[in-house]
Structure 1
Amino acid sequence: MRFTNAPARRSGVALSCGTIIVNPSRQILLCHATGLHCWDIPKGVRHDDETPLEAARRELQEETGLAFGQQLFEDLGCFSFQPEKALYLFKLRSPSALRSLAHLRCTSYFVDRATGRPMPEMDDFRWASRSDITTLCPVPLARRLLALSW
């Protein structure tokens, strides 16, 4: 079980690294953020000793249980995201074995303030089409995702 830490920062800007997994129907994998009403892609803040790809792969594994070789990740680049956060994205084509999401599990936890119990960062997974993004994702993420080709 891994608990999240405070974000590593450089020059006042945290770098969040994430992966857009695209299935053959051109839908992307979204993860539901526990306790919130929004969905997200697997992503998180890069540690000082990691490259953006290493951070994206680590976050993908922690938040979904999925692990893929680095050669499968397409570098989409770094984007402005929020006032104090940049977003480095990678794209990965979903293998056919990923049709079902029932086996996905988040192993990254936070302590729930109300109960004091550990809770997974992500508690559900789904495929989403472009038309779903604006209703499921926070505005800054939705804008970024919809500006990309997938």
Structure 2
Amino acid sequence: MNGKIVSCGIVLLDPEGRVLLAHATGTNHWDIPKGQGEPGESESQTARREMVEETGIDVAAPRLVDLGRYVYRRDKDLHLFAARASADELDLTRCVCVSLFPRREDGVMIPEMDAWRWTVPGEVDRYASRSLARLFSMSLSLAELHRRL
């Protein structure tokens, strides 16, 4: 092990090739649904659990394409999977986040994610963190992924 944290997530694309981004509550950035594993979980199990917790969307394991591990930050790598959203997953008004954390100011438990959007690849850097925008521009082309899925 290299001592890095590994976060597992799903790059979910809609039929037009837009990527699902979730807004991290209390911040100004958007992210793909992802997170760290729990004991005994495989990377795909972690990615699927995080997607359900942060969006309510349950992507069945056979739909996942394993994209592998990417350098994300100095302290964190991402193990990513991709899937094409099915027709019943396109309506983001149905998304719900059940993963809670204490708000810094007062300790009140609030959802980890509070909004969702389909984002065209060219606009990801307007919303996402620098690390995620860099990943999509340098290592993982969303346009190429759209063609592959």
With the length of structure 2 as denominator, give the TM-score of the two structures.
0.90
2:57–2:89 contact (8 Å) kept in structure 1 = no
Structure 1: distance between partners of 2:57 and 2:12: 11
Structure 2: distance between partners of 1:47 and 1:78: 18
Q: Report deviation, 1:11.
A: 4.3
Structure 2: distance between partners of 1:38 and 1:70: 28
Q: Report deviation, 1:49.
A: 1.6
Q: Report deviation, 1:25.
A: 0.8
AA matched with 1:39: W
Is the deviation greater in 124-133 or in 96-105?
A: 96-105
- Number of the residue aligned with 1:96: 87
Q: Report deviation, 1:99.
A: 2.5
Q: Secondary structure at the match of 1:49?
A: coil
Q: Report deviation, 1:104.
A: 0.4
What do residues 18-72 of structure 1 show as CA deviations (whole Å, max 9, x unaligned)? Answer: 0000001110100000000000000001223211101000100000011121000
Over the matched positions of the two proteins, sequence identity in percent amounts to 35
Structure 2: distance between partners of 1:25 and 1:131: 13
Number of residue pairs aligned between Structure 1 and Structure 2: 141
- Number of the residue aligned with 1:7: none
Structure 2: distance between partners of 1:113 and 1:37: 15
Q: Report deviation, 1:109.
A: 0.5
Is it true that 1:120 corresponds to 2:116 in the alignment? no
Q: 1:1-150 maps to which residues of 2 (within 5 A)?
A: 11-146=2-137, 147-148=140-141, 149-150=144-145
Structure 2: distance between partners of 1:122 and 1:51: 23
With the length of structure 1 as denominator, give the TM-score of the two structures.
0.89
Unaligned runs of 5+ in 2: none
Structure 1: distance between partners of 2:88 and 2:104: 37
Q: Secondary structure at the match of 1:102?
A: helix
What do residues 69-102 of structure 1 show as CA deviations (whole Å, max 9, x unaligned)? Answer: 1000000000111111110000010101223111
